[in-house]
Structure 1
């Protein structure tokens, strides 16, 4: 693979820059050729250190959110296309496949192999980062058939979806009686919302309307049946439609799907700073601290902090303009990841699948020495790359709109250099000059730049090709 450069980031804490650079360098070992099982740049992105090589639907979807920043050194769509090719005549795509045999992996607890339905969420983001409208057109029938399969097999008379709790991926989370899981139902709503947006991209009004209606119908049900005003949280339901007492991190998915109104969102956000629920030292535990099953060791989904679930919560906070909370949590989370990589006692660290909620170090699960998986690049890149660019530095990019939004929470030396935007390399850096804080930019083509500083100044400017700089005080 002819290596183009990855985008460079600038940040006042060099450790953050180092872990970002290391992530890109370490990713290459996780691309495996399905036929040979050997490392190959044209392979499939999996966790390579396991006896059985498995392509996992949820991990594949999440990984696209950081691979889009690789300046095309890695193809973000590879795993999704592998899964789409596996679609069966009835529309089914299973949650896991054996990479070598291509066979679906199902078991008695999840006989249909249903996974979290998030393909459209990933595709909408891919469209904004790659601007490939033809792809949207090609994959739309696959996504529609997949949604129809879920509707036909899992939708119940109350308008909600009933799937095995195991399908949500939170293996040992204490939700054994969950028949209507909050995360699965919310992911269906989120997927419908993004299907509607993909319909808009294709100028297909009927498609857009069909999925918007599905979204609002689910939104209404989730708010009326799964919300608990006393706990200020969303809960799973049992077979009879009663709310279950556990508060798991799954209750934050509705933020990402824009389901709560402002008051409900305030209640959810309050949990993030509440030390008795989700306000642990290392944000965010997978189970509420006040749950009887919560463990400070993590014990899998009984409190461990997982990068992909942190990504979900932080992106949900963004939907409600809580950029300051999102950034603060992202930075705290990254410090714990750094501690895990370079432990203070000088022992050998790594990048892990899951971390302790109340102090530094990898999570622990009694009797399972394979937990947490080490060098778990397929999810850790969400923290060290995607959150780093989008929430710590604060950049949000859309190719089809030709826009870059930069939310600067405080003036620091930071930015990005040589980020490829569809044959257009851009650089945006903030720096201190004798005349005050300035921003330097470089681009090959015109784009629109919106800067939002400390929530006090917001301005959109057309940025011409070539180099330019501006003083923030002059905005």
Structure 2
């Protein structure tokens, strides 16, 4: 039996944030982005909370409700917590889902949507790439099988199921041609993807391609994690799940429009032609060929679709349901979707586009910080003005101080797509792709138990590392011993100005 839920707010960590324990970005040309970076960490630190009766405490609070937690918020927060795991309990917060859901452990927290987007495996895989913690992978897959259980939960749980750890019934349901779901559970609350009345006189139920893609992503991550610990049979099993789900996802591809669309759940299963950044989930899941990846890249480059000065509106700009003030998921720019999209594009060969769009997005957040009162980081952003998005009523602004997942852009997207650093602690490799001229870089970046500082100018790259690493550039790999290194002649004249 679960413990009683209360509205007593959790206790926020009050000791000062130790900035010396965090990576410190260098971007001389745009100090306002560095200011926003540090503000995001400070706001996020206010969301490291403790609560009596939570299976894991302290944990990351998403900033929405003091006694309720969301899977996809928490999974996305882990993608910036990975840069400071000693101070920010990223994957540790997953215990507040794993243990009530799969060990029947009592909890004073409510899981609002157990069938929220299933992102645990992807987030766990990313985390181990930063920490190198294979003991956690063994515990997840061999001792507890949490990731396999959650994959099966999304595949086999009937819609309308209720659980003692949750205050709401599930909506996801696997059916022969895909998955039924709905807007709020999918995370895209008032998206026009979910019509009240469909075409052809149907009830409006649709098959949601993104949950199929997220399940494919989970299967691929489980297979990769299994290989890290030598669990080859498990890896082969989930390779099979991935292949099956990729085939399903691509039943939702429209070659005519160069996009994924949901389908109506009744014959003739026509496309429900609403374009949202959910189209990048199949790309992240490894479901796209090169031509499909190019088409999705073109959609982000197109100012009539997901491009323009403020990229990644939650509905394409040329859709009749697009709202210029945001109206939550009818145009509002949501940082987690942008982060997943940028990762998908960069991993499929469109690194320069991911960089440009990420830079536009973070500049938009910085302009909003400086020109809109109060100066904070918001739940979602206007797709047209330096302001927060409006909420579902299209009048009031969304929630402030949302770090929460909105810290992803000022922290993770800055490090990964603006400054160009990616870490793989399992191979002791720091990948570096320099995008901007002038003095740029990062100090105190963790690669497992190694700390690395890299600062570049237009002629040299200086590296300080307290352990051996491989510096992986786009055109070469350079093994580096512990100590100081000055490298010349690595860069070309093609950087953006």
TM-score, with structure 2 as normaliser: 0.84
Partner-residue secondary structure (3-state), 1:126: helix
Q: 2:347 aligns with which of 287, 301, 319?
A: 319
1:172 aligns with 2:190: yes
Q: 1:102 aligns with which of 109, 116, 121?
A: 109
Distance 2:287 2:415 in 1: 26
- Equivalent position of 1:6 in the other structure: 22
- Equivalent position of 2:262 in the other structure: 236
Tell me how far 1:178 sits from its aligned partner.
4.8
Tell me how far 1:19 sits from its aligned partner.
1.0
1:22 aligns with 2:39: yes
Compared CA separation, residues 296 and 130, structure 1 to 2 (3 A): same
Distance 1:273 1:180 in 2: 27
Partner-residue secondary structure (3-state), 2:443: strand
1:234-287 deviations in Å (ceiling 9; x for gaps) = 011221232112112212211111211111111111111222221232001000
Tell me how far 1:450 sits from its aligned partner.
1.2
Unaligned runs of 5+ in 2: 1-14, 158-172, 195-203, 493-497
Distance 2:334 2:183 in 1: 18
Distance 2:53 2:148 in 1: 33
Q: 2:49 aligns with which of 25, 29, 32?
A: 32
- Equivalent position of 1:44 in the other structure: 59
Q: 2:306 aligns with which of 247, 269, 278?
A: 278
TM-score, with structure 1 as normaliser: 0.88
Compared CA separation, residues 131 and 228, structure 1 to 2 (3 A): same
Tell me how far 1:127 sits from its aligned partner.
0.9
Partner-residue secondary structure (3-state), 1:396: strand
Compared CA separation, residues 313 and 474, structure 1 to 2 (3 A): closer
Distance 2:389 2:414 in 1: 22
1:21-100 aligned within 5 A = 21-35=38-52, 43-48=58-63, 52-70=66-84, 72-88=86-102
Q: 1:219 aligns with which of 218, 234, 246?
A: 246
- Whether the 8 Å CA contact 2:81–2:89 is kept in 1: the answer is yes
Distance 1:370 1:360 in 2: 15
1:186 aligns with 2:213: yes
Distance 2:182 2:439 in 1: 48
Distance 1:207 1:371 in 2: 46
- Equivalent position of 1:143 in the other structure: 147
Distance 1:321 1:22 in 2: 31
Q: 2:468 aligns with which of 425, 446, 455?
A: 446
Tell me how far 1:370 sits from its aligned partner.
6.3
1:294-305 aligned within 5 A = 294-305=322-333
- Whether the 8 Å CA contact 1:405–1:450 is kept in 2: the answer is yes
1:209-241 deviations in Å (ceiling 9; x for gaps) = 111111111111211x20111211001122123
Distance 2:239 2:176 in 1: 20
Tell me how far 1:102 sits from its aligned partner.
2.4
Compared CA separation, residues 473 and 336, structure 1 to 2 (3 A): closer
- Whether the 8 Å CA contact 1:195–1:208 is kept in 2: the answer is yes
Compared CA separation, residues 230 and 178, structure 1 to 2 (3 A): farther
1:151-175 deviations in Å (ceiling 9; x for gaps) = 22333223x2333343211000012
1:278-300 deviations in Å (ceiling 9; x for gaps) = 12320010001222211101111
What is the count of residue pairs matched by the alignment?
445
Compared CA separation, residues 334 and 56, structure 1 to 2 (3 A): same
- Equivalent position of 2:175 in the other structure: 156
- Whether the 8 Å CA contact 2:70–2:112 is kept in 1: the answer is no
Partner-residue secondary structure (3-state), 1:87: helix
Compared CA separation, residues 471 and 62, structure 1 to 2 (3 A): same
Partner-residue secondary structure (3-state), 1:420: strand
Partner-residue secondary structure (3-state), 1:339: helix
Distance 1:303 1:210 in 2: 39
Compared CA separation, residues 84 and 371, structure 1 to 2 (3 A): farther
- Equivalent position of 1:110 in the other structure: none
Moved more, 50-59 or 404-413: 50-59
Tell me how far 1:447 sits from its aligned partner.
0.8
Distance 1:312 1:26 in 2: 22
- Equivalent position of 1:416 in the other structure: 442
- Whether the 8 Å CA contact 1:440–1:467 is kept in 2: the answer is yes
Unaligned runs of 5+ in 1: 107-112, 453-457
Distance 2:298 2:65 in 1: 42
Distance 1:5 1:222 in 2: 42
1:470 aligns with 2:461: no
- Whether the 8 Å CA contact 2:465–2:483 is kept in 1: the answer is yes
